[in-house]
Amino acid sequence: MLYRTAGQFKTSYEADQALFPVKQDAFLLGVILLLAVVVFPLTASEFTFQTLLIPILIYSLTALGLNILTGFAGQLSLGTAAFMGVGAYACYKMITLMPWMNPIIAILLSGVFSAGVGVAFGIPSLRIKGFYLAIATLAAQFFLVWLFEKWAWLYNYNASGAIQVPNLEMFGTYVAGPQANSIVQYYVVLFIVGLLTWVCINLTRGNLGRTWKATRDMDIAAELIGINLMKSKLTAFAVSSYVIGVSGALFVFMWRGAAEPNLFDIPLSFRILFIAIIGGLGSILGNYLGAILIVGLPVVLNLVPNALGIPISSATVEHLNIMIVGSLIVFFLIVEPHGLAQLWRLIREKLIIWPFPH
């Protein structure tokens, strides 16, 4: 009943290729945006902002960047956290060297530096692929984290080796730093994540997206029909690294407040990879679903036993979280390789044809 499509006719190619071919999809998105823009900010506590809303948005954007490269273009990467670090350090240097710069502009520009580094490390993809390319990006992960530690200019020669986010103002309101309000940071993150998601949706639905998918499915056949593999792969690295770099700047400036080089170590790369796998490779929606699960699971494991009066230690919660996430990854790889996004597609199809079985 909710997804009844009777009377929704398509009389042109534009209507057939519309982003929302079913009107209920647009209505559902409107409800989600209403919740995100109005309801959550009015009802959420400081704890909710810092442990759920802001990290879910940031991790979703990072997984989206990884999905552009791995899910749409088929290029494996294990250096996601390092490219986040490039964006974070680039944003920090721009803010400290040019204090007058608008924070949002600095965050968006930080992705340009990450895109340049991503293209440099993406050059091996022209000759290698699969497991060997993953090892090449893993080398980038180790090298960049080492660079963050050893190049003191990046953290302004701070004795602790960490970068500390200063108080940043925009229109008379603090948007980053110790004096910033969580609701303001949430709106900044929501705006940037929404903007880049809209851009990525359009890219993946256009000529560039079809080029990436052809390269992913069979690069030799793609080259035979005239696709420039070098351009396809390097643009995927550039766009992916840009999005990841921006998410890295948001990660530090809008959530953590400070960062050391080991924050961008390989466990963070695997965390983002898990979000992409569980959510569904080659999907935009899957990044959000995967981030909600990965970020929300530890919170649920903490709150539910306490609400039921069951004593549980923080160490047990951490072990349970690791076990459940690992089990989910194995489950989705075996049962549903396309992740939570595919499960939603199946549910949606069932709702459209309900009450008929097929």
| pLDDT for res 357 | 64
Q: What is the DSSP letter of 354?
A: T
How many helices (H) and strands (E) are present in the chain, helices listed first?
Answer: 16, 4
- Give the chain's residues under pLDDT 70: 1-2, 355, 357-358
Query: In a 10 Å sphere around its CB, with 0-12 CB exposed, 13-18 middle and 19+ buried, how is residue 145 labelled?
Result: buried
Radius of gyration of the chain measured on its C-alpha atoms:
21
Which residues, listed in sequence order, are joined to residue 164 by a DSSP beta bridge? Answer: 258
| pLDDT for res 1 | 57
CA 4 vs CA 37, 90, 143, 182: distances in Å: 28, 49, 54, 40
Torsional class of 38: left (φ above 0), alpha (ψ -120 to 50), beta (otherwise): alpha
Cβ pair 227, 38 in contact under 8 A: no
pLDDT tens digits for range 257-292: 889 999 999 999 999 999 999 898 888 999 999 999
pLDDT tens digits for range 131-147: 888 888 898 899 999 99
| pLDDT for res 243 | 96
| pLDDT for res 319 | 83
CA-to-CA distance for 141 and 85, rounded, in angstroms?
10
Q: What is the DSSP letter of 309?
A: T
| pLDDT for res 358 | 60
